[in-house]
Structure 1
Amino acid sequence: MDYRSGTCGRVFSVRFDEGDDFLAGLEEVIRREDIRSAWFWVIGGLRQAAVVTGPKEPVMPPEPVWREFDQARETLGSGSIFWDENDDPKIHLHAALGHHGDTLTACVRKGTRTYLVLEVCIMEINGINASRPWYPEGGFNRLTFTG
């Protein structure tokens, strides 16, 4: 375990509308506002996405199990934003995605289209030197603290 202490910086409220590419739009806000470290929450609907529902086996590095959907799903999730060693933002979002009483819990990765509306609250974290570089032993980008 490793941790650091910081303070709350700026807070953003963002709305995505029907058909918007959620992850691309979120990355656009992150880059435009230069949000280097943050947590965010999302509530609303996704029309489609490609998600990871877990590892095939509990080993490192994991082999992800992918699933795609293209019907409206109620969405409630939480995630973090840290940048990698190539100075690109890395969004890590886990969400519960409901459809007619059936809930899929997953890591939302790509191909996201908004259904009706998604509301996002981004809370910037100040005073933490952190990034999310590639972690070869685990096969993923891992939160790493410096300084």
Structure 2
Amino acid sequence: MRSRELTLGRTFAVVFDHGEDFMTALSEFCAANDVRQGYVPGFLGAYSSADLVATCEAPADPVAPVWTRLQVEYVEAIGCATLAWDPDAGRVVPHVHLATGVKRYAAAGHTSHLLGATVQFVNELLVFEVVAPQLRRPPRPDLYDIPVLTLED
């Protein structure tokens, strides 16, 4: 376990509009406001489509991460995220998880890592900027190269 006290900066209310790509809009918001790291304690909205990490087949290695996509359509959703800075790419790297309910299937649920989504009607979120420590997400070779959050000076 690792922990650090966070020094918070600005707090934003952000609304993504109908038809916007969620990940693109999040990246544009961060760039426009010079937010390099932070967290999104929660967001809610609807998506006409969302791509989640999932599979319907048993993976060959049950411990290894799954990177295949499951697309769900016309869902209500809640989620949360952390935002870390990638100094090599010069951009924010979001780590977003989403819980969805597919409307046409009695709100049947899917919960996983979000790869991408298109906003339907509206998506509302709060972004809390973190000033310190530095949030980074380097790949961990000992964990299948999964990027894992670090708390650096």
Question: Does TM, normalized by the shorter one, top 0.5?
Answer: yes
Shift of 1:2: 1.5
Following superposition, the deviation at residue 85 of structure 1 comes to 4.3
The reply on whether 1:93 has 2:96 as its aligned counterpart is: yes
Contact 1:83–1:133 (Cα < 8 Å) also in 2: no
Instruction: Tell me which stretches of 4 or more aligned residues in structure 1 moved more than 4 Å.
Output: none
Instruction: Indicate which of 131, 134, 138 corresponds to 1:133.
Output: 138
TM-score normalised over the length of structure 1: 0.87
Q: Is this contact kept in 2: 1:85–1:134, CA < 8 A?
A: no
Structure 2 Cα separation of the partners of residues 135 and 31 of structure 1: 26
Contact 1:52 1:107 in 2 (8 A): yes
Q: How far apart, CA to CA, are the structure 1 residues paired with 2:151 and 2:6? A: 12
Q: Which amino acid in structure 2 is aligned with residue 90 of structure 1?
A: V
**Structure 2 matches for 1:71-82, cutoff 5 A?**
71-82=73-84
1:84, 1:141 within 8 Å by CA — same for their partners in 2? Answer: no
Q: Distance in 1 between matches of 2:137 and 2:28?
A: 18
Q: 1:136 to 1:34 in 2, by over 3 A?
A: farther
User: Partner of 2:109: helix, strand, or coil?
Assistant: strand
Q: TM-score, normalised by structure 2?
A: 0.84
Structure 2 residue identity aligned to 1:129: Q
> Unaligned 5+ residue runs, structure 1?
none
Moved more, 113-122 or 49-58: 49-58
Q: Which moved more, 1:50-59 or 1:29-38?
A: 50-59
- Over the aligned positions, Cα root-mean-square deviation in angstroms equals 1.9
Report deviation, 1:80: 0.5
Q: How does 1:55-74 map to 2 (within 5 A)?
A: 56=59, 57-60=61-64, 62-69=65-72, 71-74=73-76
Contact map agreement 1:93 1:107 (CA 8 A) in 2: yes
User: Identity over the aligned pairs, expressed in percent?
Assistant: 27
Q: What's the CA shift string for 1:43-93, capped at 9, x where partnerless?
A: 010111211137934424x23342112x21001001100012413211111
